[in-house]
Homo-oligomer: A and B are copies of this chain.
Amino acid sequence: MKKNIKVAVVQHGCNTDYNANLDKSVTGIHEAGELGADIVLLPELHTLPYFCVSEDVRNFDLAESIPGPTTRVLAKHAQDLQIIIVTSIFEQRAKGIYHNTAVVIDKNGSIAGSYRKMHIPDDPGYHEKFYFTPGDQGFVPIETSVGKLGVMVCWDQWFPEGARLMALASAELLFYPSAIGWDINDTEEEKVRQRNAWMTIQKSHAIANSLPVIVSNRIGHENDPTEKTRGANFWGSSFIAGPQGEILAKAPIDKADVIIAEIDAGKTDTIRRIWPYLRDRRIDAYHDIVKRHIE
């Protein structure tokens, strides 16, 4: 980043109507553009209901190629508004290979790069291992006209390793498009712990790497069409944090919103001079990080 930039996040709810979802995303992108944003982040799988709530082969029909219908629509708006769009696509890469993919569209409408979700969750209501082949590109920042973006996706947010690898590879901003919510059966206390943990772990990636972190999420309740679960309540709370984990902007839990913050281009370098974690990493002693468990 050569100069300060403005980063925005669009937060909205999604349902089974692709066009209505995409319209909400585009409306948010335009709002971000009017606010002067250089980059806008959309929620994970923002054109679709969170179909991973159940396992149904028909849902593979929702996937598209990259480039494809959604990236083509967004490319036009990126170019019109001269804004970088970080979008999220259910990607069909080949017959039988589907990914949960973040795509970065640069200001000129070209695809700057993509990131295929590396860590794939699977728990009741989040059956992602059924749909998504784990990414095989590793943690590689995407070069854009304003800087290098370390884009990951949702479940990746719980793994300090991904953020660290993006930082070591010169990412200047970290992005986590998300679709995360509460189980309706959880107690209020448990809900508070989960949302706080989600904010804390992502702020910690900012702190550990002295990088701004930009997080999106969807809002609202979505039913489980199989009625095996009571569906999920997505908790919104999109936020932008600076390189000390300080909150620069945040969205509410339950309302659509567009948030924006200015990122100080020099601050990562300033912070890393006086809090020089990258200087002091014990790279001679981390080799067991690649083990599943240390016996």
- The interface of chain A, by Cβ under 8 A from chain B, is 118-121, 123, 134, 138-139, 155, 158-162, 164-165, 168-170, 193-194, 196-197, 200-201, 203-204, 207-208, 244-246, 274-278, 280-294
Contact = CB atoms under 8 A, between A and B. Distances in A.
Number of copies: 2
A169 B290 CA distance: 12
A197 B287 CA distance: 27
A294 B170 CA distance: 7
A160 B158 contact: no
A139 B285 CA distance: 8
Contacts of A282: 118-119, 134, 159, 161-162
Given A168-B292, A196-B244, A196-B245, 19 more contacts: A119-B280, A123-B276, A138-B285, A138-B288, A139-B285, A158-B277, A159-B277, A159-B281, A160-B164, A161-B281, A165-B285, A169-B294, A197-B246, A200-B203, A201-B204, A204-B207, A283-B290, A283-B291, A286-B290
Contacts of A139: 285
Contacts of A170: 293-294
A204 B160 contact: yes
A161 B277 CA distance: 11
Contact of A290 (B207, B274, B287): B287
Contacts of A281: 119, 159, 161, 292
Nearest to A160: B160
